[in-house]
Structure 1
Amino acid sequence: MVVNNKVDTLTYDVEAAQARVSAGAAGAAKTPPPPPHQHVAELHKVSAPERRSTARALGQRLAEIFFPDDPLHQFKNQSFARKLVLALHYFFPIFDWGSHYSLKLLRSDAIAGLTIASLAIPQGISYAKLANLPPIIGLYSSFVPPLIYALLGSSRDLAVGPVSIASLVMGSMLREAVAPEQQPILYLQLAFTATFFAGLFQASLGFLRLGFIVDFLSKATLTGFMGGAAIIVSLQQLKGLLGIVHFTTHMGLVDVMSSVVKRHGEWEWQTIVMGLGFLAILLGTRQISARNPRLFWVSAAAPLTSVIASTVISYFCRGHAISIIGDLPRGVNPPSVNMLAFSGSYLALSIKTGIMTGILSLTEGIAVGRTFASLNNYQVDGNKEMMAIGVMNMAGSCASCYVTTGSFSRSAVNYSAGCRTAVSNIVMAAAVLVTLLFLMPLFHYTPNVILSAIIITAVAGLIDFRGAAKLWKVDKLDFLACLAAFFGVLFVSVQVGLAVAVGISLFKILLQVTRPNTVVKGVVPGTQSYRSLAQYREAMRVPPFLVVGVESAIYFANSTYLVERIMRYLREEEERAVKANLCSVRCVVLDMSAVSAIDTSGLDALAELKRVLDKRNIELVLANPVGSVTERMYNSVVGEMFGSERIFFSVAEAIAAAPYKTVQP
């Protein structure tokens, strides 16, 4: 009987409020007062939550931040031997899927591994050139890191090796301090040292469970950054496409184009013809595979086929002004531990370069791994991926490798070729090993122009016009961040562009924290749902109530703003009531369903707001605070000020349970 009375009372209040709005002042005056609410407040008050100790509350919060996936749950109630086996499976995923590996899986992985090897070999040579490193370093980096990732990585589809963006950033940052042509040994030392610090940074993020730091690079800023970097990379390859010998070392658009124009006397028509021809072939095969995914092998085989064909042409046209790679050393990776420099005047540069390339390569690797994991319906552990990528880069720096990660192009080919496990990386590494041991002399006459064509084809896919257009349509601030990062890379430098991208991402977060979204809500006719008046045209005000929704956590950075914003809503609502000859606001309902957290400054702001409204004879009630917010309120003076009579489960119940003196016109 009490419950029915409560429902009837709530329905009566909403219908009466709607009638007052539709009928105007006259209708409002004729509306009878609502019936008394003797039992409603008792039924719907939010009781104080169970008190937790400080240590328990802090422990639960830290566990949620650093261990959201609860990695230790599988070890509970297990024997020591079983825990040891589970630990091996956790830290070395190869023991997990390797226990049920079969010849059928090996056949699929072997085909996929050989397919991506045909792409990895020319890309490795090209990307090393992009990083201003000897071409052989690119092949070294396609041998050792994939073997380590196969042991530690949790992705089945990720194909590991050098990538264009990390190569570009490393090359541009190191080149500003050291010229690779003049000081090749020092430049190589800095590259290996930067790779070590990149791996140390990546592994530390995974070990300390701090992977959320990488998320500060938003998709919008990365879209602009990669688009600008792709254009800069492509323009840098004009040196190889045109056959220019003396080219600018700067990365800016103006410097590159000025160098191209000033050095027009060095252009070689033979190089231009060969470069444009193979560039057209590579781009054409890319379009064929994009339109028909079953023909993925066409674009996958095109780089190696182009290298072979161009090498044959260059051999028969030797002496005709076509620049070639030259001799490449035969053999496996030589050790480079003695080349790591942890002291000296360039240490800061190595650390900075390592962190920059580490962040970029980590972002790409995890994004690619998660993308293909979602396609195959399995989970990728982000923190384990960070540790795997970090360890393989640290080990790679000791084996003449530079920064590597999961490549999107090679992973896409790996996925399309039907890979089933990380064994495809082992097969690819074996193919690279055979190349290093026996096939290196065949690359002597490989022209540099084909490497430039391969790089242009690879980075062309980084320019995402559709993504930028979508940003403009959905979020103008994200589009502005995208443009700022794009032009920062294009007209200043890659480092500045990346710094701008990170800065805009942080600025956006600060803007959303300090100026959170707030809305005035009204009831949707025929329901007990309260929605934004600006978004839902059918929503109606319920005088004399002012319902305000806060869609953010309440912190010290925004608490003052929220109080001022609510008071401004109150002034606007009172002015509207005067013009429409309606009753003035007698109760402010603060909808806190979207308030995920609150600190002491936020609690003080609520207390101050209540004191201000009390002086104006206006009630302040709270609706639907989440558990952690409710707990903090009851542990502070706010709980005493509001009590259980002014905190409700929903806006509708707060309005239904309002005292008679509050709703009376």
Structure 2
Amino acid sequence: MATERAKNFGKKILAYPNDQPSVVSSKDWVHNLARDPKNFLVLYITRLFPIFGWITRYNVGWLTGDIIAGLTVGMVLVPQSMSYATIATLPPEYGLYSAFVGTITYCLFATSKDVSIGPVAVMSLTVSQIIKYIDHKHPNEWSNPEIAINLAFICGFIVLGIGLLRLGWIVELIPVPAVAGFMTGSAINITASQVPGLMGITGFDTRAATYHVIINTLKGLGRTKKDAAFGLVGLFTLYAIRITCDRLARRYPRRARLLFFISAFRSAFVIVVLTLASWLYTRHRRSKKGLKHVGTPNIDPKLLSALAPKFPVATIILLLEHIAISKSFGRINGYKIDPNQELVAIGVTNTVGTVFGAYPATGSFSRSALKAKSGVRTPAAGILSGIIVLVSLYGLTPAFYWIPTAGLSAVIIHAVADLVTKPSQVYAYWRISPFEFFIWAAAVLVTIFSSIENGIYVSLSTSAALLIFRLAHPRGHFLGRVRVHANGSTSDARDVFVPLIDNNVINPQIRVEPPQPGILIYRFEETFLYPNCSIFNSEVVDHVKANTRRGKDLRLIPLSDRPWNDPGSRHGSTAEWEENVARPVLRAIVLDFSTVSQVDTTSVQALIDARDEIERWTNHSVEFHFASILSPWIRRSLIAGGFGYDRRIQSPHRLHDVAAIASDGNLQSDKPTATDIETGGWEEPSLTGSSYGEIHHGEASVVQVDTPFFHLDLAEAVAAAEIGLLKLSPQSSTSSSHSVENDDVKHNDSSA
């Protein structure tokens, strides 16, 4: 039987209420991931086109909301897209190309009704910096549109691949403060770069580090031109309309919806007025209409090679900004988005967009907020927005020439101001997690004093460092017991286990009773994996050595035979031994695994090492009880490490070390002889007369009977350890009561 157990090492053990443990192989586990490959493939393809889930139920009520939202967003999308194209150092029409493709394509793949895809400020600024980088490395070799289109093509394919492979979960590794940090820094960067255009100041690089641009702008205020008349008037008008409409809406609630739409059209209104003024001030040539750059994109391998170092930052912005926006509006409006599907939408938009001359596009915060407030009902609203953009391309292209640069700068500054994190939100970061506040601050400062690219990398690296630090330095607590009475009734009482130390959570007036002398209760607060297992080992072993009795009397051991790292006093001290004897004898350790979702080879080996070191200290076996293990893989792993049963009377389920070079363990008899403290015996349970899922006392254990040290909850595990304490220490009742009392006092003091 022992040989059979050794052969079955590495197999999964599952629990069934009507049988002994059933052993299934890892092959069966893999098969369960896709029990029906045909249905899995159909589901995968269906999920690629969410439109089929709602288009068949489309109705007039939805159509009304979509028309209003589509028209509203379209009117804002046209001036914003042209403005953002100027940030990217591209002609204004390229912004409309990106807007047209994004709004039309997105509805086919969308899982968010609110998001509006198109040119955005942060991505546009990144494109301008990438163009500057390529121009510096390869001067005059490629035009700005060629660089932007090639960038969109490759980044689109990268994001599409991530979505198709269902790897969208990687976005979840980046916390909200990191995203807010580089968005805030980018907004400040964009605003600073647009002020010279707003004032008509020239003569320096507006794509340099933000602080350089601010300094040069202040130095150049004396060179302000007539452009400031367009820019400052336009910026003032934008804020005046917005503030006036907001105040009137609060004063006249019945007119709030009308005032909202008036405010929404303020960008289009300002652009039209400023364009008309510009045309009246100076007029000459006309421009060709429509989609002038439709055709197969010229994908240059040499250009792609030059762009390679910039692919990561562009890709991160594409996926990160869009997922953050779509998740936010889904949470606000009561639906969930599929991150993988959203990445597919972004990927298709950017790859298909290169045929129309589009540069990289992603979700826009300001337009998405406008779309949501306009009462959008489905993603189909984007189709109408795309039609408005297309009409603008064919009907208004000649007017694009007359749009003043200062007017576009005013629209940009007004739009990106909302991307700056509000002080109340920054204070919330500080209240919730000071470490994440510093991540936000670092991202903002690096973006301002260096670049958006470095700001993103700093926010990502610091977030990863914080995650690793938290995983590698988990909090764990030794627990005590508090008796809780429901509604003041002594008959309806239960035990809860809380930290023995004061943690500002438990009422300090409540007395927390430590466990019985000889028992330790420890709760993990993180999953138990290789980065943090050594911390657990140190905490538990050090606590045992500081608060429990050493099993060997060092006075009887020659100095030459003592371990070098713990030799004790040279000749052995009677006082030292008396102090040791006053401590309780450790008999059981109860580990609460309720927060542990994963273990690995290294962590199980650390658990084995801790047990071996503790038993060398106590000079006898120590029971290890585990509570709340619900994962069959954790159970299997612990059994492989020799846990879950009494090793003195049962055959080991493992070769002593799971991560050792060699093992000298001996396989013992397989026949259990002890009584199971949960079921009252090792006999095969009979379930005759009981229904599945219902277990009557004396019929079966909820957990499997071959692992009596695995328990359903912590209270049961502690009770089992206390019963085992009585069985393992019968002499305690006849020994000195004074010694026991001293043990109790010692345990109270040390644990508290």
Q: Same fold (TM over 0.5)?
A: yes
Question: In structure 2, how many angstroms separate the alpha carbons of the residues matched to 1:100 and 1:202?
Answer: 30
Matching of residue 633 in structure 1 with residue 638 in structure 2: yes
Describe the superposition over 1:120-178 as per-residue Cα deviations: whole angstroms up to 9, x where unpaired: 00110011111111111001111122211122223222222111111122222331231
- Of 141, 159, 162, which residue of structure 2 is paired with 1:202? 159
Equivalent residues of 1:518, 1:549 under 8 A apart: yes
Matching of residue 370 in structure 1 with residue 344 in structure 2: no
Structure 2 CA distance for partners of 1:597 and 1:498, relative to 1, 3 Å: same
Structure 2 CA distance for partners of 1:100 and 1:587, relative to 1, 3 Å: closer
Corresponding residue of 2:414: 457
Corresponding residue of 2:536: 562
Corresponding residue of 1:57: 29
Corresponding residue of 1:278: 234
Corresponding residue of 2:347: 390
- Of 103, 110, 120, which residue of structure 1 is paired with 2:67? 110
Name which of structure 1's ranges 389-398 and 274-283 shifts more when overlaid on structure 2. Answer: 274-283
Corresponding residue of 1:524: 482
Structure 1 counterpart SS, 2:479: strand
Counterpart residue identity of residue 444, structure 2: F
Corresponding residue of 1:339: 298
Structure 2 CA distance for partners of 1:124 and 1:329, relative to 1, 3 Å: farther
Equivalent residues of 2:481, 2:514 under 8 A apart: yes
Structure with the higher helix share, 1 or 2: 1
Corresponding residue of 1:177: 134
Corresponding residue of 1:12: none
Deviation for aligned residue 1:255: 1.5
Corresponding residue of 1:135: 92
Q: How does 1:59-78 map to 2 (within 5 A)?
A: 63=33, 75=39
Describe the superposition over 1:34-87 as per-residue Cα deviations: whole angstroms up to 9, x where unpaired: xxxxxxxxxxx9x98543311233565xx5xxx9xx9x89948xxxxxx97x77
Equivalent residues of 1:195, 1:354 under 8 A apart: no
Question: In structure 2, how many angstroms separate the alpha carbons of the residues matched to 1:654 and 1:620?
Answer: 10
Matching of residue 120 in structure 1 with residue 77 in structure 2: yes
Deviation for aligned residue 1:118: 0.8
Q: How does 1:169-248 map to 2 (within 5 A)?
A: 169-178=126-135, 183=140, 185-248=142-205
Deviation for aligned residue 1:420: 1.6
Structure 2 CA distance for partners of 1:116 and 1:189, relative to 1, 3 Å: same
Equivalent residues of 1:521, 1:549 under 8 A apart: yes
Q: How does 1:268-347 map to 2 (within 5 A)?
A: 268=225, 270-287=226-243, 292=249, 294=257, 295-318=259-282, 329-332=288-291, 334-341=293-300, 343-344=301-302, 346-347=303-304
Q: Which has the higher contact order (CA 8 A, sep 6+)?
A: 1
Structure with larger Rg: 2
Equivalent residues of 1:191, 1:350 under 8 A apart: no
Structure 2 CA distance for partners of 1:525 and 1:229, relative to 1, 3 Å: same
Equivalent residues of 1:613, 1:619 under 8 A apart: no
Counterpart residue identity of residue 114, structure 2: D
Corresponding residue of 2:689: none
Corresponding residue of 1:541: 514
TM-score (norm 2): 0.73
Deviation for aligned residue 1:272: 2.7
- Of 641, 657, 660, which residue of structure 1 is paired with 2:720? 657
Structure 2 CA distance for partners of 1:578 and 1:388, relative to 1, 3 Å: farther
Name which of structure 1's ranges 523-532 and 501-510 shifts more when overlaid on structure 2. Answer: 523-532
Equivalent residues of 1:365, 1:405 under 8 A apart: yes
Structure 2 counterpart SS, 1:175: helix
Name which of structure 1's ranges 277-286 and 458-467 shifts more when overlaid on structure 2. Answer: 277-286
Corresponding residue of 1:381: 338
Query: What is the alpha-carbon root mean square deviation over aligned residues?
Result: 3.2
- Of 525, 528, 535, which residue of structure 2 is paired with 1:551? 525
Question: In structure 2, how many angstroms separate the alpha carbons of the residues matched to 1:107 and 1:386?
Answer: 28
- How many residue pairs align between the two structures? 595
Question: In structure 1, how many angstroms separate the alpha carbons of the residues matched to 2:368 and 2:20?
Answer: 52
Corresponding residue of 1:356: 313
Question: In structure 2, how many angstroms separate the alpha carbons of the residues matched to 1:57 and 1:550?
Answer: 28
Equivalent residues of 1:221, 1:481 under 8 A apart: yes
Counterpart residue identity of residue 513, structure 2: M
Matching of residue 515 in structure 1 with residue 487 in structure 2: no
Counterpart residue identity of residue 629, structure 1: I
Equivalent residues of 2:297, 2:354 under 8 A apart: no
Structure 2 counterpart SS, 1:334: coil
Equivalent residues of 1:132, 1:180 under 8 A apart: no
Question: In structure 1, how many angstroms separate the alpha carbons of the residues matched to 2:171 and 2:462?
Answer: 15
Deviation for aligned residue 1:543: 3.9
Equivalent residues of 2:123, 2:317 under 8 A apart: yes
Structure 2 counterpart SS, 1:200: helix
Question: In structure 2, how many angstroms separate the alpha carbons of the residues matched to 1:473 and 1:94?
Answer: 41
Corresponding residue of 1:623: 627
TM-score (norm 1): 0.82
Question: In structure 2, how many angstroms separate the alpha carbons of the residues matched to 1:241 and 1:126?
Answer: 12
Structure 2 CA distance for partners of 1:632 and 1:391, relative to 1, 3 Å: same
Equivalent residues of 2:193, 2:207 under 8 A apart: no
Structure 2 CA distance for partners of 1:184 and 1:402, relative to 1, 3 Å: farther
Unaligned runs of 5+ in 2: 1-16, 250-255, 485-493, 550-577, 651-706, 733-739, 741-752
Describe the superposition over 1:470-528 as per-residue Cα deviations: whole angstroms up to 9, x where unpaired: 11111111111111111110111111111101101111121122112212222123331
Deviation for aligned residue 1:444: 2.5
Structure 2 CA distance for partners of 1:289 and 1:610, relative to 1, 3 Å: farther
Equivalent residues of 2:644, 2:710 under 8 A apart: no
Corresponding residue of 1:146: 103
Corresponding residue of 2:455: 497
Deviation for aligned residue 1:607: 1.2
Question: In structure 2, how many angstroms separate the alpha carbons of the residues matched to 1:649 and 1:48?
Answer: 17
Structure 1 counterpart SS, 2:536: helix
Deviation for aligned residue 1:629: 0.9
